[in-house]
């Protein structure tokens, strides 16, 4: 190897090291800021404090109702709270969950997409993403574990972590179903149009049966949500539909490589009109859909990132007069 090649290799290693350090520092700052926010002004915090105090009682109640009810009501989430509550006060349990979920989600994105670290930071600030570390803390923890599994190189670790996530947040049962459908369709080498039909069929089937299924297995969502036609404006649908078109225009190679992410978009767009809680499933997949957009090329990438930037700015402008940008208790 000549001196020029050694110099290039050293420069790449140095740049890679600098980006890694920057990723860790950004992630640490992101998690620190979020955990430093007031504990009692945001929505759902009372519920999370209750989990930290009473998860053992809640788990016993589910166990008395039967094993199906137990596994359908996020038992791993309860066990995490039970374990932490043995060592920490409820307030500290909630803060630990916020800090580590935000840290891990940020690290997974930034360290696996080092060259796009600034865009990853923007993605983390999107209301649909950051709310999982401010309001929907259980979903934030689940997304963190999911991303660790997603980026794991060893197949056993990958599937083990992915298999555990639905027991932290129920939305991942459907995310995992979409992923298994993706794996199956890839194995039998279905064409892109047939894969799309598969995702559309899955979205319609799940949308029509979700309420019935939740009640059958005894999931708490059966009592907490209305599984009826969603009352929606359609603006979110139009925005993500445009994003889907941009990705489709990238071509077959992109569609094959990011089949799961495209499937997630299709699932959301089809089920959007049926039930409002489909957004929770979509938001569990959103970080991967966003980083898939980083692999678009030329005008498609520019258009996608410009649209995401504008989408983020508009949302915060619309929320600017609300307490804590709409995340606080009103």
User: Do 199 and 231 reside in the same domain of the chain?
Assistant: yes
| Long-range pairs, 258-261, Cβ under 8 A, ≥24 | 258/292, 258/295, 259/182, 259/185, 259/186, 259/195, 260/178, 260/179, 260/182, 260/285, 260/288, 261/285, 261/288, 261/289, 261/292
Q: Is the dihedral of CA 272, 241, 163, 148 positive or negative?
A: negative
How many angstroms separate the Cα of 263 from the Cα of each of 158, 179, 200, 244, 281?
Answer: 20, 9, 8, 10, 12
pLDDT for residue 224: 54
pLDDT for residue 228: 47
User: Do 159 and 192 reside in the same domain of the chain?
Assistant: no
User: Do 155 and 243 reside in the same domain of the chain?
Assistant: no
Question: Does a structural domain hold residue 326?
Answer: no
**How many CB atoms are closer than 10 A to CB 220?**
15
User: Do 17 and 117 reside in the same domain of the chain?
Assistant: yes
DSSP 328: B
* Listed residues 134, 164, 194: the one ending a domain: 164
**How many CB atoms are closer than 10 A to CB 316?**
13
What's the rounded Cα separation, in Å, for the pair 38 and 227? 33
User: Do 63 and 185 reside in the same domain of the chain?
Assistant: no
Question: Does a structural domain hold residue 107?
Answer: yes
Question: Does a structural domain hold residue 272?
Answer: yes
How many structural domains does the chain have?
A: 2
User: Do 154 and 174 reside in the same domain of the chain?
Assistant: no
What's the rounded Cα separation, in Å, for the pair 185 and 196? 10
What's the rounded Cα separation, in Å, for the pair 297 and 253? 12
User: Do 195 and 121 reside in the same domain of the chain?
Assistant: no
What's the rounded Cα separation, in Å, for the pair 146 and 152? 10
Which residues on adjacent β-strands are paired with residue 328?
42
What's the rounded Cα separation, in Å, for the pair 158 and 145? 10
pLDDT for residue 175: 93
User: Do 115 and 175 reside in the same domain of the chain?
Assistant: no
User: Do 46 and 138 reside in the same domain of the chain?
Assistant: yes
User: Do residues 263 and 199 touch, judged by C-beta distance below 8 A?
Assistant: yes
Question: Does a structural domain hold residue 175?
Answer: yes
List all residues 6 or more positions away from 45 whose beta carbon is below 8 Å from its beta carbon.
39, 94
User: Do 237 and 118 reside in the same domain of the chain?
Assistant: no
* Listed residues 164, 198, 233: the one ending a domain: 164
pLDDT for residue 121: 95
Question: Does a structural domain hold residue 310?
Answer: no
Question: Does a structural domain hold residue 75?
Answer: yes
Choose among 109, 107, 111, 51: nearest CA to 82. 51
User: Do residues 110 and 30 touch, judged by C-beta distance below 8 A?
Assistant: no
List all residues 6 or more positions away from 106 whose beta carbon is below 8 Å from its beta carbon.
23, 26, 27, 30, 31, 120, 124
User: Do 231 and 281 reside in the same domain of the chain?
Assistant: yes
* Listed residues 102, 136, 164: the one ending a domain: 164
What pTM was computed for the model? 0.91
User: Do 54 and 175 reside in the same domain of the chain?
Assistant: no
Question: Does a structural domain hold residue 43?
Answer: yes
pLDDT for residue 216: 63
Q: Which structural domain range is residue 11 located in?
A: 1-164
Phi and psi at residue 170, to the nearest 5°? -65, -25
Residue 101, both tokens: 């979920």
pLDDT tens for the 330 residues of the chain, in order: 555 555 556 677 777 888 889 999 999 999 999 999 998 899 999 999 999 999 999 999 999 988 888 888 899 999 999 999 999 999 999 999 999 999 999 999 999 998 899 999 999 999 999 999 999 999 999 999 999 999 999 999 999 999 999 999 998 999 999 999 999 988 888 887 788 888 888 888 877 776 666 666 555 654 555 444 444 557 888 999 999 999 999 988 999 899 999 999 999 998 887 777 788 899 999 999 999 999 999 999 999 999 999 999 999 999 998 989 999 987
Question: Does a structural domain hold residue 266?
Answer: yes
pLDDT for residue 277: 76
């Amino acid at each position: 190897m000549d001196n020029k090649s050694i110099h290039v290799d050293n420069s790449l290693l140095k740049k890679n090291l600098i980006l890694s350090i920057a990723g860790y520092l950004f992630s640490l700052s992101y998690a620190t800021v979020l955990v430093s926010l007031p504990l009692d002004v945001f929505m759902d915090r009372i519920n999370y404090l209750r989990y930290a105090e009473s998860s053992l009682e809640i788990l016993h109640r589910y166990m008395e109702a039967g094993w199906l009810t137990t596994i359908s009501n996020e038992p791993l989430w309860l066990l995490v709270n039970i374990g932490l509550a043995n060592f920490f006060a409820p307030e500290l349990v909630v803060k630990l969950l916020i800090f580590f979920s935000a840290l891990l989600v940020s690290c997974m994105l930034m360290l696996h997409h080092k060259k796009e670290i600034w865009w990853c930071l923007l993605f983390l600030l999107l209301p649909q993403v950051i709310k999982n570390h401010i309001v929907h803390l259980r979903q934030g923890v689940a997304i963190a574990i999911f991303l660790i599994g997603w980026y794991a190189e060893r197949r056993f670790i990958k599937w083990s972590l992915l298999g555990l996530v639905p027991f932290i947040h129920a939305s991942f049962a459907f995310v995992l179903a979409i992923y298994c459908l993706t794996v199956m369709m890839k194995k039998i080498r279905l064409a892109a149009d047939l894969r799309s039909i598969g995702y559309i069929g899955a979205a319609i089937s799940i949308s029509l049966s979700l309420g019935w299924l939740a009640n059958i297995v005894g999931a708490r969502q059966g009592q907490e949500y209305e599984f009826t036609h969603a009352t929606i404006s359609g603006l979110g649908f139009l925005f993500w539909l445009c994003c889907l078109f941009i990705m489709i225009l990238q071509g077959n190679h992109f569609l094959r490589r990011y089949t799961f992410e495209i499937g997630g978009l299709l699932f959301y767009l089809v089920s959007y009109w049926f039930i409002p809680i489909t957004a929770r499933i979509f938001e569990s997949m959103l970080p991967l859909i966003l980083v898939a957009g980083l692999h678009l090329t030329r005008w498609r990438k520019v258009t996608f990132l410009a649209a995401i930037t504008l989408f983020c700015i508009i949302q915060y402008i619309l929320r600017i007069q609300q307490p804590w940008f709409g995340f606080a208790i009103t």
